[in-house]
Structure 1
Amino acid sequence: MKKLLIIIDGMDDDPHHALGNLTPAHFAYMPALQHMRENVPKDLCTRSWFEALGYGLEVKDRDFCLRCNLISHHDGILTSHYGSEVSPRQCHEIIDMLNNQYCSEKIKFIDCGNFRNLLIVHETEASIKAEAPDEVSHIIDT
């Protein structure tokens, strides 16, 4: 069966007072996107799952696969959501450190060669509660 993966990326913005304190994406009339959001199948594969397949990794039904992007920050402020100040060598070293600290039979960080990386947790029943990036700045060690 063929599948289509639609990635709506880069639509995040700040709320604006002229838009009733909504972001442009929340303010805009986009019935097709609203329909897609309301009708996403519960078993839809995530972007990270497809990326893992692209790297030749086997991800099973009970595996939990996440993007694990490296970022840059200064004084607890996010300066780059794509690790612009982190070299490919440093990215590799960071993933190695994460694996040395947390890797197990079930948990593995995958080095994808740049700021985009993967985290796979094997054989789990996991759920996600996502937070907006600007709401997690308090957890960044400075």
Structure 2
Amino acid sequence: MGSLGRLPISKLLLSLLMGALVLAGAVACAGDKDAGRGGVPLPKDFPSQQVPLIDGAVLSADGSSPTWSVTVQAQGADGNAYQNAVKALTDAGYTESSRTENPQEHSVLLYKEDDRKTYWVNVGVSATAAAATTSIIYSVNML
């Protein structure tokens, strides 16, 4: 047989290889709520459902109930990361309590009551951070 007889087998092998790669990727990401986010994982008890974070890689995350601290490196193409972070929280029902804006820092303190708990989130940026305009710092307290 010539090369025409081997062509369907090579296509079959290529299809099997591609299918195996897709399946391996799906299995690796299954069940990991932060799989697409990148960076370090959020603490297991972080209230992700109550505290929306902007898209981006988690640079640092620590704490445990009732206090957490998370820094997210926002994607540069998504516009003003600080404004996007505040908007995500207000869209989720948070109310602004106070605001600080000066050349060194911008921060907003917001709160929300959910299921008989009050979540206080301070979201901000610091001019001294390495990626000042895209590193968003969240401090979360649950009362």
TM-score by length of 2: 0.27
Whose radius of gyration is greater, 1 or 2? 2
Q: Which has the higher strand share?
A: 2
TM-score by length of 1: 0.27
